[in-house]
């Protein structure tokens, strides 16, 4: 291809233009959700810059604090939390934020804001220091309380079925943002020299089945009998085991290639380790929109009632057939044990 032909090619659809086009599909949309998604994308670019430089400057590694879950808080966790909260506060559309890194809800002061955001600002933090993919996960709800006041607990503890949008950013071999507003799933890849996300994965459809299972088998001594039987089934079927230890990265691979990700109950984390509001629900919304499935092994993730904004739940997520197969093994265990 000569230089002239190359110049004739369009550069592609930017995330901003895509969001705007989608907004035009809804005649009564006010543009606030569009602005909110753009705010998240902007914060993601800033966090991406910090992550790319983290080996050069002293921001990788533990910060010395522990977060509400009692885990070591990494410096980049703190930085990402600050960046996302600042972008959401400045944008004005969000009244209240729930973050993995903050025990209490964050009131942005934008009492007219219609939206609630739940966020895991930096997922996979144990992988920061070793140059392995990490991510951000977010979930957006419309408030149920009237505008003009601060967001309430009822606003924050809605079931996943009420999500109006959800997405994640993966900071990997390239940086991507993948999101849904309930009308399919689209993925955008970051072009660092232009500072823009471009539509690279339109209308993602996840395979109905797959040959990959992703679970931390180091905990297999405390798997339930049904869970252990499912893992044996995967091995007998010659499936591949793939486990990065960054939920976003494991989820993203399985979304595109097919597979199942599981964080089951273990003796260390009897209710699973992952959090319903800002890890499980957003990914459940995305996987369902892509044709996959998500449950706690029995109940659809998005129908679980959140007891607490930091509540944890087991997660079985990915290709429909594999999630259903795992559920069958768990149902069998109840029959055997009763």
Question: Helix or strand or coil: residue 5?
Answer: helix
Nearer to ligand AHG, 33 or 177 (CB): 177
Nearer to Mn ion, 100 or 327 (CB): 100
Q: Which of residues 271-310 bind Mn ion (CB under 5 A)?
A: none
Q: Give the CB-nearest residue to Mn ion.
A: 123
Give the shortest CB-147-to-ligand AHG separation in angstroms: 31
Q: Could you give the string, one character per residue 118-157, with x where binding to ligand AHG holds by CB under 6 A and - elsewhere?
A: --x--xxx--------------------------------
Q: Which residues are annotated as part of the binding site for substrate?
A: 123-126, 216, 243, 273
Q: Could you give the string, one character per residue 111-130, with x where binding to Mn ion holds by CB under 5 A and - elsewhere?
A: ---------x-xx-------
Of the candidates 108, 64, 60, 95, which has an alpha carbon nearest to the alpha carbon of residue 80?
60
Nearer to ligand AHG, 91 or 292 (CB): 292
Q: Which of residues 180-239 bind ligand AHG (CB under 6 A)?
A: 216
Direct distance between the N- and C-terminal alpha carbons of the chain, in angstroms, rounded to an integer: 68
Give the shortest CB-331-to-ligand AHG separation in angstroms: 25
Of the candidates 176, 201, 185, which has an alpha carbon nearest to the alpha carbon of residue 45?
176
Residue 286 CA to residue 82 CA, distance in Å, equals 25
247 binds ligand AHG (CB under 6 A): yes
Nearer to Mn ion, 113 or 167 (CB): 167
Question: Helix or strand or coil: residue 33?
Answer: helix
Give the shortest CB-28-to-ligand AHG separation in angstroms: 36
Take residue 7 and report the two structure tokens written for it. Answer: 């110049």
Nearer to Mn ion, 124 or 258 (CB): 124
Q: Which residues are annotated as part of the binding site?
A: 100, 120, 122-126, 216, 243, 273, 279
Contacts of 283 (CB under 8 A, 6+ apart): 137, 166, 168, 247, 251, 294, 315, 317
Nearer to ligand AHG, 18 or 263 (CB): 263
Q: Which of residues 89-108 bind Mn ion (CB under 5 A)?
A: 100
Of the candidates 107, 141, 125, 110, which has an alpha carbon nearest to the alpha carbon of residue 47?
125
Number of residues that bind ligand AHG (CB under 6 A): 11
273 binds ligand AHG (CB under 6 A): yes
Quickly list DSSP for 216-276: -GGGGGG--HHHHHHHHHHHHTTPEE---S-HHHHHHHHHHH--EEEE---SSSTT-SSBI
* Burial group, residue 24, by CB count within 10 angstroms (0-12, 13-18, 19+): exposed
Distances (CA, A) of 312 to 107, 253, 270, 303: 23, 23, 9, 14
Nearer to Mn ion, 113 or 264 (CB): 264
333 binds Mn ion (CB under 5 A): no
Give the shortest CB-98-to-Mn ion separation in angstroms: 13
Question: Helix or strand or coil: residue 21?
Answer: helix
Per CB under 6 A, the list member of 96, 110, 246, 319 interacting with ligand AHG is 246
50 binds Mn ion (CB under 5 A): no
Distances (CA, A) of 260 to 138, 189, 279, 297: 21, 24, 16, 12
155 binds Mn ion (CB under 5 A): no
| Half-sphere CA count of 229, side-chain side, radius 13 A | 14
Task: Provide the binding-site residues for ligand AHG, judged by CB under 6 A.
Answer: 71, 100, 120, 123-125, 216, 245-247, 273
Task: Provide the binding-site residues for Mn ion, judged by CB under 5 A.
Answer: 100, 120, 122-123
């Amino acid at each position: 291809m000569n230089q002239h032909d190359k110049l004739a090619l369009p550069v592609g659809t930017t995330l901003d233009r895509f969001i705007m086009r989608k907004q035009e599909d809804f005649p009564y949309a006010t543009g606030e959700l569009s602005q909110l998604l753009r705010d998240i994308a902007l914060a993601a670019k800033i966090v991406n810059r910090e992550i790319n430089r983290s080996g050069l400057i002293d921001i990788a590694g533990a910060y010395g604090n522990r977060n509400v879950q009692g885990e070591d808080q990494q410096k980049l966790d703190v930085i990402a939390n600050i960046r996302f909260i600042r972008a959401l506060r400045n944008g004005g559309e969000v009244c209240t934020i729930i973050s993995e890194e903050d025990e209490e809800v964050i009131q942005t002061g934008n009492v007219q804001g219609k939206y609630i955001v739940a966020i895991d600002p930096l997922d996979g933090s144990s992988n920061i220091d070793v140059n392995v993919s990490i991510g951000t996960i977010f979930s957006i709800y419309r408030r149920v309380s009237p505008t003009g006041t601060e967001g309430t607990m009822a606003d924050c503890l809605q079931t996943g079925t009420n999500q109006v949008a959800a997405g994640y950013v993966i900071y990997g071999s390239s940086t991507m943002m993948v999101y849904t507003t309930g009308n399919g799933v689209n993925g955008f890849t970051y072009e660092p020299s232009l500072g823009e996300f471009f539509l690279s994965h339109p209308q993602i459809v996840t395979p109905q089945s797959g040959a990959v299972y992703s679970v931390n088998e180091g905990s297999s001594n405390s798997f339930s009998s049904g869970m252990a039987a499912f893992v044996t089934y995967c091995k007998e079927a010659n499936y591949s085991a793939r486990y990065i230890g960054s939920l976003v990265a494991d989820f993203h691979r399985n979304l595109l290639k097919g597979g199942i990700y599981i964080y089951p109950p273990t003796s260390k984390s009897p209710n699973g380790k992952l959090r319903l509001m800002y890890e499980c629900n957003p990914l459940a919304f995305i996987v369902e929109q892509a044709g996959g499935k998500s449950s706690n092994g029995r109940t659809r993730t998005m129908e679980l009632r959140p007891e607490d904004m930091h509540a944890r739940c087991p997660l079985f997520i990915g290709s429909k057939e594999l999630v259903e197969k795992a559920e069958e093994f768990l149902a069998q265990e109840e029959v055997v044990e009763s």
